[in-house]
Amino acid sequence: MRPFYGKEIIPDQQQVKIQKILSKFKHLPVSSELKKLIYDELTDAKVRGEITIPFKVVMHDLKSGRRSYIEIILETKV
């Protein structure tokens, strides 16, 4: 564990917290609106101090018969 902006970050614990936050979105279809909802929810959690790890929300829109999905990328080099 190394401090990141003065806070200790344990990526595994952060991932569990993020999964809990994301669980309420599981039933929604993948869309740019869902991506925004997820980003806003995670940003709010970060402001409240519930999560501290840097993250990125990416939507993969697959056309070749596969399902589109939204990926949360955590900065694990902190």
Mean per-residue pLDDT, 39-68: 89
The phi-psi region of residue 5 (left if phi > 0; otherwise alpha if psi is between -120 and 50; otherwise beta) is left
pLDDT digits (tens, 9 = 90+) for 3-40: 555 667 777 888 899 999 999 999 999 999 999 999 99
- Cα–Cα distances (Å) from 49 to 17, 26, 43, 46, in that order, read 11, 23, 10, 5
State how far the Cα of 17 lies from the Cα of 23, in Å rounded to an integer: 10
CB neighbourhood size of 62 (10 A):
10
pLDDT digits (tens, 9 = 90+) for 32-50: 999 999 999 999 999 998 9
